[in-house]
Each structure stands twice: as structure tokens, then as C-alpha cells.
Chain A
Amino acid sequence: MQFDHFSDEELIQKARSESGPAAAASLEALFQRYYSKVAYWCLRVCGSREEAADLAQEVFLRVHSRLGSFRGESRFSTWLYQVTRSVAINHGEAARRRTAPLTDMENAPDPADPEPAADEILVRSQDIAGLRAVMEEVLEPLEARVLYLHYALGVTLPRITEMLELENRSGAKAYIVSGLRKLRRRLGTSAPRQLTLIRGGAQ
């Protein structure tokens, strides 16, 4: 192949020094090298292959539009991973907003809590500094890891179950439910300076 002997960074340089179809061909040769890698990664974090295909397309659209900001301070593959991870986080958050809240959490008896108005879990900004300590204090390491994978990194629950090879019946969902419940119990509404986890929007 005519581009095989170029490194990733050389292909970017080549694309920058060329124009029109020649530049597009250099970029496409670069992207082709990573299609399978990004496709596999997206499949490992998304709920379906359709969703994975959408995410992967979004990744390369973003890469294409932001390539100008790549300054070559890291490898292209590292930069691509940063973009992929960032697109996946946004995608995961959007997908979570579209889906219904976890049934188990909704049914969990907790009369102190108001009726949820939305399906997003919110944290008071002044309590974020304490969140890390609270997480590590009250959660099992696996619960915290599952919570982080799902909420902070946007990985779907079935994929977390697969990724961490969880063998319990409901997989990652059980860890999410128990983790959130522990957080809420530990940070009850009676503790004024502690973190407040609520379900819902403005009260």
C-alpha cells in the first residue's frame, strides 16, 4: 500500500502539506489504521453494535474536525484515545438521560427522600471535594469501580458485567443499586455539611 511506510504522525504532516483529494487520502489512510481498534472499543462499551457504530462515527467526525488541534506532543494513537474516551463519556451521559431510572432505586424505601422529578442523580457542587473520601469509605472497591465506569465513563451495564466478568445474576446493575443505596444511607439528610445525593432536579 502506498501509505504503509508512513508513520501516523507523518501522515498527518502529509495531510497538512497537501490539499484536496491527496490530503483526504492521507487522512483516510491514517483513519483506516484505527477503524478496527475504535470499533472494538466502542463495541465493548456500548449496548448494541448499532450504538457502537454511531459512537465510532462520532469519534472519527470529531477527530476529523479537531485534527488541527493535534500538536504532535503525544502519539496520534494516544490523542485518538483521548478523543474516543471523551466522545464516549458524552454519548453515555446522553444515553443515560434518555433511559428510565433504575427500577430498584426507584422502589427503594426511603421516606426521607422527595419524589424524584428526573432520572439524573445530582451532587451539590460544594460537596464534591468530599465525594472521593465518602466513596472510598462506604463502598466496596468493586462497587466504586462499577459506579465510576457507568456514571463517569458512560459504559453500559451489560458491558461492565462483561468487562469485569461479573457472575452474579443481575451483573453490574446489582453493584450500582447497592452502591447508590449505601451512599444515600451514609450521607443522610441529617448531616448538614456532608454530601447530599438526591434524585431529581431543582426542589
Chain B
Amino acid sequence: MTAGDRLPLGEALRSAYSGNACPPPELFLTLDDLPPEERRRIEEHADRCPACAAERDLARMFAAPPEELESRREDVDFVVARLQGVGAERKETAPPVPFRRPSRVQWVQRLAAMLFVVLGATVLLWMRSDDPPPLPAPSAQTVQRGTDLAVVAPRGELAEMPQELHWETAEGARSYRVTLKGVDGSTLWERTVSASSVRLPEELLRELHAGVSYTWTVEALDGQGERLAVSEPVPFRVRPQ
């Protein structure tokens, strides 16, 4: 006998219990819409048939009332946050960020910063007599700059899962700490390396999925492990097949 003659038990069970004797599984979602006699007949069948009893268990959970969802509110919110992250990617817009009114202290800080910039620019203009130098031409390689540290790839929507992360070196850096996060902000993986790239381990790659957004950042560290610079958080996502 060959393996092709055999079916996994789950498939065999579904096949054995399909047919005219059992109603379609989704019918258990709408039992309340059926005429009382029909509903009673199906309920009685499900009481005798283990497959239909199981299908009824599953359908009841899908039709659970809102108060039942409340009993697992924290977990439900966790899953919904992930779904909303993917949904936002589908819309190709940034996920909504709650608007927060800046405090009075923040306003004072911003005002002071603006005054400082204006004053500095005035002093520089006064000190320089010749024309300002032209702005630097944009780099041929697209990079995303944070506080002095620029990441190269991956970024944005990708055709396939990246195997490596690349960034530019920072002056004085002895090592780089790379962090990969999920859409909910949880850290999925972190690694400190001395080069300006790192290969993603196989066990991590197995956990990454197409259609899901991830964000990575890189920090440049000095010999004492103090942070010298940090990149912007860079999102990437593999297009769903």
C-alpha cells in the first residue's frame, strides 16, 4: 500500500461526516432564523452526531454575544490591534495616531527651540560674506535618516522576505544594536553586531509573514555601549501572494 491510499484522520473524518445526513456547518450560525420545527430537527441531529455537535460548538463561538467578548477584552484588543495594523497597510495609509494636545511645557520648549534656530541663522548670515554653498545632491542610494544614522534596506513594500538588514556606518560606533518589532510594537528580535549589516536567523524568518508590517531600527553604540545615534523606525512588509 502506498501513502497515497491514505488520508489524514482530520480529512477522513470530515469526509465521513459530510453528505446529506449532516447540515452544512454554517447553518448552525443561523439556527434562530429557521422555522421552529426545522430548528428542532437540526438540534436533535446535532445532539446525536459528534461532527455536528462540534460544528455547533464552533459556530456558537462565532455568534457569541458582545458580553462574552468582554470576558477576553484584553486578548481581543491585542488581536484586533494586529488586524488594524494590517488593515492600515491595506489602505496604504499610516495607522491612526491619537491626537494629543501639547502641554504648556512643550509649547515653551518649541518656542525656545525656534528662537534658538532663528538666532543662530542670523549670526551665521552676519558672519559669512560670500554666498552659501549649494545644497548637497541627493544620494544615489535611497536611505532613511534618523538622528545621524541612516538605514539602507529593507524599507517599504517588498516582493520577498528580506534576509538581511543594512545601514550606514556611524562615526565612532563600535557596535550596532538592531531591533525588529511587530505591528503592535512588541520586540520580535534584537541583535548587537559590529558590522553594518546583519543576517536574519532562520528561526526568525520562519515567524515572519507576508502581508504583515514590521519595523526595524538600528542604534550605533560606542565602546561602553552608550548610544551615539539612532535611526528612524523603518517599516517594511512583504506583499501578500
A41-57 residues at the B interface, CB under 8 angstroms: 41-45, 49, 52-54, 56-57
Would A89 and B10 count as touching, CB distance under 8 A?
A: yes
Q: Are B7 and A148 in contact (CB under 8 A)?
A: no
Does A19 interact with chain B (Cβ within 8 Å)?
no
The answer to whether B14 touches A152 (Cβ under 8 A) is yes
Interface residue from B9, B29, B86 paired with A81 (Cβ < 8 Å): B29
Chain B residues contacting A103 (CB-CB under 8 Å) are: none
Our pick among A35, A54, A153 for the contact of B54 (Cβ within 8 Å) is A153
With A24-B90, A36-B76 as contacts: A93 and B5 at CB distance below 8 Å:
no
Q: Within 8 Å CB of A121, what residues of B?
A: 8-9
Tell me if A163 and B61 are in contact (CB < 8 A).
yes
Which chain B residues numbered 28 to 49 have a C-beta less than 8 Å away from chain A? Answer: 29-30, 48
Does B234 sit within 8 A of A, measured CB to CB?
no
Query: In chain A, what residue has the closest Cβ to B13?
Result: A152
Per the bound structure, the CA–CA distance linking A44 and B68 in Å amounts to: 11
A-contacting residues, B51-81, CB 8 Å: 51, 53-55, 57-59, 61-62, 64, 68-69, 72, 75-76, 78-80
**Contact of A84 with B by CB under 8 A:** yes
- Asked whether A28 lies within 8 Å of B61 as measured between CB atoms, the reply is no
Interface of A is mostly: helix
Contact of B87 with A60 in the complex, beta carbons under 8 Å: yes
Q: Interface on chain B toward A: helix, strand, loop, or mixed SS?
A: helix
- Whether B80 lies near A154 (C-beta < 8 A) is no
Q: Is the CB of B6 within 8 A of A81?
A: no
A164/B57 contact (C-beta < 8 A), A122-B6, A152-B10 known? yes
Contact present for B12 and A61 (CB under 8 Å) = no
Shortest distance from the beta carbon of B10 to any chain A beta carbon, whole Å:
4
Chain A nearest CB, measured from B112 CB (Å): 39
B-contact 0/1 string along A76-91, CB 8 Å cutoff: 0110011011000100
Contact across chains for A85 and B3 when beta carbons are under 8 A apart:
no
Say whether, besides A57-B212, A61-B86, A147 and B5 are in contact (CB < 8 Å).
Answer: no
Q: How far is the CB of B67 from chain A (nearest CB, A)?
A: 11
Pick the residue among A27, A45, A145, A154 that contacts B50 (CB under 8 A).
A145
Residue contacts A-B, CB under 8 angstroms, 20 given: A21-B92, A25-B91, A35-B83, A39-B83, A41-B62, A41-B64, A42-B79, A43-B76, A45-B58, A53-B78, A64-B90, A78-B26, A81-B26, A81-B29, A85-B26, A121-B9, A135-B16, A139-B50, A163-B61, A202-B2
